[in-house]
Amino acid sequence: MTRLLSLLGGIAGFYRGNTAGIVGSTIVALILAMCLAAPALTGFDPDKRVARGHQPPSTEHVMGTTRAGKDVWSQALYGGRVSLMVAFAAATVTSIIALAVGVSSGYFGGRTDEIMMAVTNVMLVFPQLPLLIILAAFLGNVGPLVIALILGLTSWPWGARVMRSQTLALRNKEFITAAEIMGEAKWRIIVIEIMPNLVSLAAGMFVGTALYAIGAQAGLEFLGLGDPTVTSWGTMLYWAQSSAAFFVGAWWDFIVPGSFIALVGGGLALINISIDQISNPKLKTGSYLRTWRRLNAEINAKRQEA
């Protein structure tokens, strides 16, 4: 119970005076809830023809239909499940690898550090977007799970370097030295002493990777490198482009998935900014900024009185 209250207090403290975090979390949470509640929000099957092709928005089909006569609103909600799953799965894979490599490299040092950083530097040499396109093209029409793995396995090097840098700064702290003198196991020092100090960085890395994955998945699928039979925001854009929706005036066919991608991307970006503002002392805002403004106003008032 105490831990739960402490966790809730920490969450409340994060959002207190943090406008960017509140807005971003609200946007992402609302879209996620809508996608999860898709069966209650639409009665149409996203993969079945339900009307004539490129029917404009109406009371029956609030976001119109595609060239194939499928309901766009239904596809956006059910496709959002796939796109968000890919984004969060890729972010999870990236975070796990980056934490494992960065913390191990920074704490153990020596030969372990040399080998892990050599591998990390090799991964950093390759430009990521061309590498993603080559891998996706080599594997053929890849499904959402494979795209998530490709994104996760190619996005960890930068995060690993950040984690290594922070671990190096923590390794010589007094509480780490005390734990080592007391004979604590190395794995316990990493998990209990070091990891909690990396939570804000790990959270920022997770959100940043999810933001990147949303756009990368949509890009790969728009290029035709995904599985066109799986409904997602990226494949919706692919089919809209293939059916020349822009040229025939069916703006809803590409505006709807594009808007969902933009909204989720904007929400994740706001969350990432808010995490950076909280974890980086140079960028602290919220209640700190209001306190600074109040003190600054008092100082200016005293100067004017003098």
Q: Tokens for 106, please give them.
A: 């920074």
pLDDT of residue 20: 84
In the predicted model, what is the mean pLDDT of the chain?
84
Residue 1 pLDDT greater than 90, yes or no? no
Q: Are 90 and 145 in contact (CB under 8 A)?
A: no
Residue 3 pLDDT greater than 60, yes or no: no
Which tens digit of pLDDT belongs to each residue from 124-167? 887 777 777 787 777 777 788 888 988 898 889 989 998 998 89
pLDDT tens for 20-45 read: 888 999 999 999 999 999 999 988 98
Distance of alpha carbon 176 from alpha carbon 192, whole angstroms: 10
Per-residue confidence band for 80, with pLDDT thresholds at 50, 70 and 90: very high
* Buried-exposed string 63-78: b where 16+ CB fall within 10 A, e elsewhere: bbbbbeebbbbbbbbb
Residue 18 in this model has a pLDDT that exceeds 80? no
The pLDDT assigned to 29 comes to 94
**What pLDDT digit, counting tens, does each position of 216-263 carry?**
999 888 888 888 889 999 999 999 998 888 888 889 999 999 999 999
Q: How many residues are listed for the chain in this entry?
A: 306
CA 228/CA 240 separation, integer angstroms: 12
Confidence of residue 295 (pLDDT cuts 50, 70, 90): low
